[in-house]
Amino acid sequence: MDQTLKQRWRLVLGRFADKNLPNNILSKSQRDQDQALEQLYKKQLEKQGLRTSGTLDDSNLQVFEWLDKTEKLFPSSVNEKIQAHAIEEFGIKQILKNKKALSRMTPSIGLLKQILSIHNEIEPSLLIEIKIIIQKVVDDLLTQLKPKFQNKFSGRLNRHQSSPQAVLANLDWKKTIERNLKNYDRENKKLMLQRVYFNSRNQKHFPWRVILCIDQSGSMMESIIFSSVIAGILTKLPIIDLKLVLFDTNVIDLSEQADNPVEVLLSVQLGGGTHICKAWEYCAQLVEQPSRTVVATVSDFYEGGSPNKLVNQASEMMGCGIKMIGMTALTADALPFFDSDMTQRLSAQGMNITSLTPDSFANWLAQTMEL
């Protein structure tokens, strides 16, 4: 085994490898890396019967120093994973409750999930740092998702606005001829075109109300983050009148904040049970034109109330002409988790329930709206 490979295995195995891969085969910076990793993964080492010298406990580690150390010792991609492990696997809440530490964290969905899980415990003085992290994650997701919605919901020709999209299908013959009549060559009986005009594409303005109904019970964080971003995108589409409803055992209407995903995420209250029927009863009150309304529910469909009442509520709403669709919860690895019995019962009533990734939602919503 060459030296580089030995060093890598030593960093992976830590003290387990002391007998065959002693610490002295590492360079100075690698020994510092080894120490930082040992502090983080102390619990796993102790389960194997090994004693360790450093920990991430409050009494033994200054969080800033450890963050400084890992930032300097590891590439950014590796450091992001180390930070996520420190927070997600060991619940190091003190990192999330300190302004200096927060300002050095790499924004990611993993970090955002942890912040939102304890944001009610965080001091108001940290709100600026919290918002910066949330905004960065939201902006990254908008970059990924926004084009898919814009492309799917673009539509009819706008004949009142010129466009640089010079394709034959968009050619405005009437305007082109009228504006170039002054250039008519009488001798040769030809119209000399000095400028050609084209129509631009514009969005269809159909009065569709989309009610995004989001389960905010404790298991739904990943879905809530994506749903809040999607809600922000939908509010910008003229063909959609968006209503945003979050629920657990209670219902909260965040329609007025839907255009601001950061504020929506700061309003999330995780940890309650699940009462979908109560949320649908509220959504039904928001319906004005049933045939032009979509109720899109994101949930694991583990109903905490009466299952029969939930099925009857769905049947009643669909009987009025409301289009009911459901997206199951997804893990960080895009694996669905949901109550299969309940989803089967709702599907049997005519509700369209599926498991899909956020970037597929635009197509599905457009199909539901028959656009």
Domain containing 311 — which CATH number? 3.40.50.410
Helix axes 307-319, 340-348, angle to 10 degrees: 30
With respect to residue 158, please indicate whether it lies within any of the assigned structural domains.
yes
Place of tokens 């997600």: 88
**CA distances, 353 to each of 22, 23, 63 (Å):** 56, 55, 45
Computed over every residue of the chain, the mean pLDDT equals 81
| Residue 114 pLDDT exceeds 80 | no
Could you tell me if 165 and 45 lie in one domain?
no
pTM recorded for the entire structure: 0.67
With respect to residue 146, please indicate whether it lies within any of the assigned structural domains.
no
Could you tell me if 300 and 319 lie in one domain?
yes
Could you tell me if 199 and 230 lie in one domain?
no
With respect to residue 8, please indicate whether it lies within any of the assigned structural domains.
yes
Could you tell me if 35 and 62 lie in one domain?
yes
| Residue 123 pLDDT exceeds 60 | yes
**CA distances, 2 to each of 8, 10, 240 (Å):** 10, 12, 62
Query: What pLDDT, on a 0 to 100 scale, did the predictor assign at position 257?
Result: 94
Query: What pLDDT, on a 0 to 100 scale, did the predictor assign at position 54?
Result: 55
Query: What pLDDT, on a 0 to 100 scale, did the predictor assign at position 369?
Result: 85
Could you tell me if 216 and 283 lie in one domain?
yes
Could you tell me if 355 and 221 lie in one domain?
yes
| Residue 160 pLDDT exceeds 50 | no
Q: Which of these three, 203, 235, 261, is where a domain ends?
A: 203
Could you tell me if 198 and 221 lie in one domain?
no
Could you tell me if 298 and 196 lie in one domain?
no
The confidence band for 235, taking pLDDT boundaries of 50, 70 and 90, is very high
* Beta pairing partners, 328: 299
Q: In terms of DSSP bridges, do strands 208-215 and 240-247 run parallel, antiparallel, or are they unpaired?
A: parallel
Helix axes 109-118, 221-234, angle to 10 degrees: 100
Helix (H, G, I), strand (E, B) or coil at 201: strand
Q: What single-letter DSSP state applies at residue 324?
A: E
* Beta pairing partners, 240: 208
Could you tell me if 159 and 116 lie in one domain?
no
With respect to residue 149, please indicate whether it lies within any of the assigned structural domains.
no
1-13: pLDDT as tens digits: 688 898 888 888 8
Average pLDDT over residues 152-162: 53
What is the distance between the alpha carbons of residues 261 and 227, in angstroms, rounded to a whole number? Answer: 9
Could you tell me if 216 and 349 lie in one domain?
yes
With respect to residue 145, please indicate whether it lies within any of the assigned structural domains.
no
Q: Which percentage of the chain shows pLDDT scores above 70? A: 81
Helix (H, G, I), strand (E, B) or coil at 54: coil
Could you tell me if 224 and 294 lie in one domain?
yes
Q: Which domain holds residue 230?
A: 208-368
Q: How many domains does the chain have?
A: 3
117-126, 274-283, 294-303: least confident range? 117-126
With respect to residue 345, please indicate whether it lies within any of the assigned structural domains.
yes
Could you tell me if 119 and 43 lie in one domain?
yes
With respect to residue 264, please indicate whether it lies within any of the assigned structural domains.
yes
With respect to residue 69, please indicate whether it lies within any of the assigned structural domains.
yes
> Comparing C-alpha atoms, which of 102, 104, 101, 112 is closest to residue 137?
112
